[in-house]
Amino acid sequence: MTGRPTITQLAAELGIAPSTVSRAFTRPNLLKPETVAMVQKAAEAAGYVPNHHARALSTGRAGAIGLIVPDIANPFFPPLVRAAQNYASDLGLSVFLADTDEDPTREDRLISRMAPQVEGLIVVSSRLASSRIRQIADSQRVAFINRDVPETYRILLDTAAAIRSGLTHLSGLGHRRIAYVGGPPQSWANKQRRSAVDNFSKAHALEVMHFSADPGTYDAAKALSDSVAASGVTAVIAFDDVIAHGLMGGFAAAGVDVPKDLSVIGCDDTLATETFPALSTIAVNVGAAARRAVAALSENPGSTSLTGARIIFEGTLVLRGTTGPVRPASNPLTLEPELDHPSTGSVQARRGSDS
Amino acid sequence: MTGRPTITQLAAELGIAPSTVSRAFTRPNLLKPETVAMVQKAAEAAGYVPNHHARALSTGRAGAIGLIVPDIANPFFPPLVRAAQNYASDLGLSVFLADTDEDPTREDRLISRMAPQVEGLIVVSSRLASSRIRQIADSQRVAFINRDVPETYRILLDTAAAIRSGLTHLSGLGHRRIAYVGGPPQSWANKQRRSAVDNFSKAHALEVMHFSADPGTYDAAKALSDSVAASGVTAVIAFDDVIAHGLMGGFAAAGVDVPKDLSVIGCDDTLATETFPALSTIAVNVGAAARRAVAALSENPGSTSLTGARIIFEGTLVLRGTTGPVRPASNPLTLEPELDHPSTGSVQARRGSDS
DNA sequence: GTGAAAGCGCTAACAT
DNA sequence: ATGTTAGCGCTTTCAC
């Protein structure tokens, strides 16, 4: 913050007006090309760097966006943060990152504190009450990811179709009793996944047992694994890959083999690109969601809030090594034909991310 | 950015001077308590939020720090980011996050762009040339993490002692031929780990084979696993947990059992709290490093650069499930006595993080 | 095509 | 204990 040259100093040095120097950076087309060149040369030489605060104060545009996540250490978020940051950078925007630690109060405070100093906010997996969210959306430019409150600008990573594909797959393998092991109860994604499992199961005569890992950590899931194994299910769909791994850790300790004894499908595809064993899961395009959010904030910069929108990106089932036929070579009942041809949610075998 | 009340408006409303309103927030002790209360009440009612840009411009203090990492999606960084962000938040600082994508050019540009608008920078695992780093350190307030350039302010996560403990452990289990599978070649941590392995091995008649996963991804490591297995080693130390997992993925595919056929030790303890199987690894206190860095930046805020310092946090060996005795019940040679009592780097069995 | 001057919202002397 | 004033570095009318 010391000794940095300012526009005024540059101007003095060159014997021209500050406004000319300013224009050389912001509206070069208004200036004689040679003037622009001269200014740029001098700026470079002097090591001039524009002061964002002054610019922001003068223009009212902050040149930054805020990104608020519940827990950056949860592997779901880093790729999202990365994509948002990269895209924002392309657009000349900086990003403020804040972590709410899953605490709604902290989240609310962070939103209020950040809002005035940024062009807009991206709030991921908000744990705030719907009423509060709507309120915030009214007065701030904010894009929500994975939180579905009507009349707000929201981007949803929809895994319902892919879950149906997963269930179809499991069903084709002979599984009839499956477990859904949920995560954070306040999470939109959790509710969505849970009801996708319920609805499909009801429609196709699958029996589903419900479990919930709260908090949604490896350890909580591991602690649950015995009850899951004892429940008589032959397959489990986990809220996310961390929970899937926790379950598998518990299964391994108990001598339950995956996928021979039990099939496991995770969700979010956060770990398979860095972790062994190769987990079957549902890949979700967090990168696209992040970019859409950044784009939304950078569009029509004047407005005081974003107009309501509901944008969906669908996930896809990725089959790797943790699903297999039900063990006691039981009755591979014929399924309704449509089950063999899922209409949505493509299936693929691969490793890698598409963000 | 619209219709937000300013200090001047508040002042007018209350019939007092703007400076009084300002002081109510920044130096309340200079004011009559009732005045402070009055201002606060009015501010609350009007929804007043201080404008950080104006404040920054006026005071020359940005109220923010910058955090630059090579790849936020690499699991080593999120806990560090989280700790930095939390601590900064406690200190009333916001944090700008940027990801260099492992690209030195991008890193250099990001540093230049960020520097003027923050109180200081934390640069983690810099890939820049030492000469450039020294240059930057001269003109910016910057704390480096895991990059050891003399005369800069740097914080190092030292794993050498813990690696010696790991090697001692392996050696005690009968292992004589071990592999070191390195990561990013420009990484300070990689060089440090590599030479720790080399030095210890030389001193204790262990044979070490070198491999390098470049890039340091799961897939690159997996591709390496066959050569590693074929090299005749009975244990491997991996640069990090991701590489360890990649190796294990390859081993599993090839029918090589861990730890029966091969012992594996990872590094950084980034995955074991969310991932199965339970990897033996070296835990590293990224939280402490991050907090130290933030603290360094927030101390003596006047200066234009940080005075040189070299701060070390030592890692600890964490034994979990991926190490065991060498398979063909071979000669458990007596070791030099000192090997049984490592002088540094404690050993513990546990799960969880200490950040 | 360029200069002069005002002002963004806030803080910090300097009064009083 | 509070008011007055100037100014942080930049952009932006408005002149020329």
Could you read off the pLDDT of A109-129 as tens digits, one per residue?
A: 999 889 988 999 999 999 999
Statement: the CB of B28 is under 7 Å from strand C: no
CB contact under 8 A, A113 and B79: no
Q: What is the pLDDT of residue A174?
A: 96
Q: What is the pLDDT of residue A327?
A: 77
Beta-sheet strands, E only, within chain B: 64-69, 94-99, 120-124, 142-145, 153-158, 177-182, 207-212, 235-238, 263-265, 281-283, 309-314, 316-318, 347-348
- Percent of chain A at pLDDT exceeding 90: 84
Which positions in chain A touch B116 (Cβ < 8 Å)?
1, 4, 49-52
User: What is the chain B residue with the closest CA to A110?
Assistant: B89
Give the DSSP per-residue string, B279-316: -BEEE--HHHHHHHHHHHHHSSTT-SSPPPEEEEEE-E
Rounded CA-CA distance A115/A102 in Å is 19
Paired tokens of B50? 């201080």
The answer to whether A159 and A123 have CB atoms below 8 angstroms apart is no
Paired tokens of B140? 């910016």
B196 falls in which pLDDT band (50, 70, 90)?
A: very high
A259 falls in which pLDDT band (50, 70, 90)?
A: very high
For residue B1, the SS3 value is coil
Paired tokens of A138? 């009214």
Q: What is the pLDDT of residue A328?
A: 63
Find the mean pLDDT for residues A135-139. 94
3-state helix, strand, coil in chain B (%, to 5): 45, 15, 40
For the cut 90, the answer to whether the pLDDT of residue B348 exceeds it is: no
For the cut 50, the answer to whether the pLDDT of residue A173 exceeds it is: yes
Neighbours of A31 (CB within 10 A): 16
For the cut 60, the answer to whether the pLDDT of residue B1 exceeds it is: no
Output B345 or A263, whichever has higher pLDDT. A263
Residue in the structure block whose two tokens are 């991926």: B322
Q: What is the pLDDT of residue B110?
A: 93
A345 falls in which pLDDT band (50, 70, 90)?
A: very low
Which positions in chain A touch B50 (Cβ < 8 Å)?
116
Render pLDDT for B220-279 as a digit per residue (tens, 0 to 9): 999 999 999 999 999 999 999 999 999 999 999 999 999 999 999 999 999 988 998 999
Distance, CA of B95 to C1' of D4, in Å = 36
Rounded CA-CA distance A280/A351 in Å is 10
Neighbours of A253 (CB within 10 A): 15
Statement: the CB of B8 is under 7 Å from strand C: yes
The pairing of strands A316-318 and A281-283 is: antiparallel
Of the candidates B53, B85, B274, the beta carbon closest to that of A97 is on: B85
pTM equals 0.90
For the cut 80, the answer to whether the pLDDT of residue B351 exceeds it is: no
Q: What is the pLDDT of residue B255?
A: 94
CA of B31: nearest nucleotide by C1' is: D1
CB contact under 8 A, A82 and B60: no
B352 falls in which pLDDT band (50, 70, 90)?
A: very low
Of the candidates A4, A82, A99, the beta carbon closest to that of B73 is on: A82
Backbone CA torsion sign across B164, B166, B171, B176 = negative
- Residue B154 bridge partners (DSSP): B144, B310
Residue in the structure block whose two tokens are 């299964």: A251
The answer to whether A180 and A237 have CB atoms below 8 angstroms apart is yes
Neighbours of B328 (CB within 10 A): 9
Backbone CA torsion sign across A52, A53, A56, A62 = positive
Find the mean pLDDT for residues B178-202. 96
Q: Which residue is nearest to nucleotide D8 (CA to C1')?
A: B58
Distance, CA of A55 to C1' of C6, in Å = 16
Q: What is the pLDDT of residue A300?
A: 81
B37 falls in which pLDDT band (50, 70, 90)?
A: very high
Paired tokens of B24? 């109510």
Nearest to B123 by CA among B108, B135, B138: B108
